[in-house]
Amino acid sequence: MAFHEKKLPANAPMADKALNWVDSRFPLTKLWNDQWGQYYAPKNFNWFYIFGSLAMLVLVMQIVTGIFLVMHYKPDANLAFASVEYIMRDVPWGWLVRYMHSTGASAFFIIIYLHMTRALLYGSYRKPRELIWLFGVAIFLCLMGEAFMGYLLPWGQMSYWGAQVIVNLFGAIPFIGPDLSLWIRGDYVVSDATLNRFFAFHVIAIPLVLLGLVVSHLIALHEVGSNNPDGIEVKDTLGPDGHPLDAIPSHPYYSVHDLFGVVIFLTIFSAVIFFAPEMGGYFLEYNNFLPADSLKTPAHIAPVWYFTPFYSVLRATTSQFMYALMAGVAGYVALLILKSKFSGMAKLAAAVIGLVAIASMFVLDAKFFGVVLMGASVMILAGMPWLDHSEVRSIRYRPTWHKYVYVLFGVSFLVLGYLGILPPTDGRTFVAQICTVIYFGFFLLMPWWSAAGKFKPVPKRVTFHPH
């Protein structure tokens, strides 16, 4: 292929000449235009659509602050805690960088949870955006792994014992559990070997995978186009120029929109860093300001707040709850056989799987199924594009009672998160079990409830009221 370089006038600005030189060798301007500058997005975006950009901002901030922390951190069981104290006390502005990183972790999950909430409400996981959603779920899993690995690094009491408890959960897996736990720790207990491998994963391995998934997420998004609060495909109505009539260029319109959101976010973020970086023990637990001691167990061990909904599911799975789980599996298999449109072979397979699952509940202990349910509570998100059989995408045009289903699901998720922070009692465990049933019921019964009721007519064009 012949090499072509655009000819510019001799008096063209130096910046234009430099950009032309780069563009002839690397598609810099084309990438900018395709991914943002001339990417047309629906003009009826609301404030819910700010969280994707905020997630990118926090990701960059976490990488930059992480690089500066690594410059002074010592991944050694004898030196790790002291190195964090050194960063906080002696490194110029080290306390600020550390608090930006720790607060950024919580901010990241707040933003991601709100980003996922928007997708649930407006059906952003529906065809043709299934792959975008799957990339998003993979990003969420990576973030959970990244946060868990990084949580051990300060080598405080809660870091140490939290890692000990979570890694020991893998020991509940039949046959391979003990060896798997040993392999993850690199030792019989959480030790220097564990710290080193968690450090390697937190700093190198998971961030590389995470960046790849984020790029894939954005490429897939810009290939099929963004969803909108009405759940209408704006590409179905094109103007003479070939662009959607109900869409506007992301730059400068959404650049300004996002910049305004960034200013608000940074204001709140700065207030937390300077006035409440521990956030009452939710962002940084008090026990983590004590060096790890393998001979002194904290009175109550709980993960960071963003893991607690799934941790509550684990704790809710008691031996008594197994009977409810058996009844639930039997009832769901019966529902599939009687009410689903599956073929005869598929129904037979569902019956066999259900019988095997119920039989295994008599053999295996509740701890194993707690681990299974905890993992399933995250992985079930990946099935959303195929579980939702609604006629419309957006909550705006669904039956009114669907909104109450979403509210019930959201409340149960928040209750699970709150209960996961508190020490377990019989009453709290019972409430967690109810919320666990509601959580899984929301997804597993979605093929039926999402298609039920009287839907509102969806307009052919997006609803937009200019201000």
pLDDT tens per residue, range 443-460: 999 999 999 999 999 998
Domain co-membership, 49 together with 137: yes
Which of these three, 248, 283, 318, is where a domain ends? 283
What the block records as the tokens of 143 is: 């973030």
Which of these three, 283, 316, 334, is where a domain ends? 283
Q: What is the DSSP letter of 2?
A: -
Q: What is the torsional sign of CA 301, 307, 309, 315?
A: negative
pLDDT band at residue 1, thresholds of 50, 70 and 90?
low
pLDDT tens per residue, range 315-326: 999 999 999 999
Total domain count, the chain: 2
Q: What is the mean predicted confidence (pLDDT) over 303-317?
A: 94
Domain co-membership, 222 together with 361: no
Whether 385 is covered by a domain: the verdict is: yes
Phi then psi for residue 445, to 5 deg, are -95, 0
pLDDT tens per residue, range 423-447: 999 999 999 999 999 999 999 999 9
Residue 467 has a pLDDT of: 58
**What DSSP line would sit under 70-111, residue for residue?**
HTT---STTTHHHHHHHHHHTSTTHHHHHHHHHHHHHHHHHH
- Mean pLDDT over all residues of the chain? 92
The residue segments making up the domain with residue 148 are 32-283
Whether 312 is covered by a domain: the verdict is: yes
pLDDT tens per residue, range 88-147: 999 999 999 999 999 999 999 999 999 999 999 999 999 999 999 999 999 999 999 999
Q: What is the DSSP letter of 349?
A: H
Return the bridge partners of 40, or none.
249
Whether 400 is covered by a domain: the verdict is: yes
Domain co-membership, 137 together with 236: yes
- Which residues, 6+ apart, have CB-to-CB distance to 338 below 8 Å? none
Whether 16 is covered by a domain: the verdict is: no
Whether 466 is covered by a domain: the verdict is: no
Determine which of 125-129, 131-135, 279-283, 404-408 has the lowest per-residue pLDDT on average: 279-283
What the block records as the tokens of 237 is: 């109505």
pLDDT tens per residue, range 53-102: 999 999 999 999 999 999 999 999 999 999 999 999 999 999 999 999 99
pLDDT band at residue 39, thresholds of 50, 70 and 90?
confident
Residue 2 has a pLDDT of: 58
Q: What is the DSSP letter of 156?
A: B
Q: What is the dihedral of CA 50, 55, 61, 64, to 10 degrees?
A: -140
Record the pTM.
Answer: 0.93
pLDDT band at residue 240, thresholds of 50, 70 and 90?
confident
Q: What is the torsional sign of CA 420, 425, 427, 429?
A: positive
Burial class (CB in 10 A: 0-12, 13-18, 19+), 257: middle
Determine which of 11-15, 204-208, 376-380 has the lowest per-residue pLDDT on average: 11-15
Reply yes or no on whether the pLDDT at 226 is more than 80: yes
Whether 96 is covered by a domain: the verdict is: yes
Q: How far is CA 286 from CA 94, 154, 237, 300, 406, in A?
A: 19, 13, 56, 12, 35
Residue 195 has a pLDDT of: 95
Phi then psi for residue 359, to 5 deg, are -60, -40
Domain co-membership, 316 together with 357: yes
Domain co-membership, 309 together with 179: no
Q: Which residue has the tokens 């973030």?
A: 143
Domain co-membership, 315 together with 261: no
Q: What is the torsional sign of CA 20, 24, 25, 29?
A: positive
Q: How many whole angstroms separate alpha carbon 84 and alpha carbon 86?
A: 5
- Which residues, 6+ apart, have CB-to-CB distance to 25 below 8 Å? none
Task: Specify the length of the chain in residues.
Answer: 467
Neighbours of 207 (CB within 10 A): 17
Choose between 242 and 270: higher pLDDT: 270
**What DSSP line would sit under 203-243, residue for residue?**
IIIHHHHHHHHHHHHHHHHHHH----TT---GGGSB-TTSS
Q: What is the DSSP letter of 248?
A: E
Q: What is the mean predicted confidence (pLDDT) over 289-317?
A: 91
Residue 290 has a pLDDT of: 92
Q: What is the torsional sign of CA 160, 281, 377, 113?
A: negative
Q: What is the mean predicted confidence (pLDDT) over 153-166?
A: 91
Q: How many whole angstroms separate alpha carbon 395 and alpha carbon 113?
A: 18
The CATH number of whichever domain residue 338 belongs to comes to 1.20.810.10
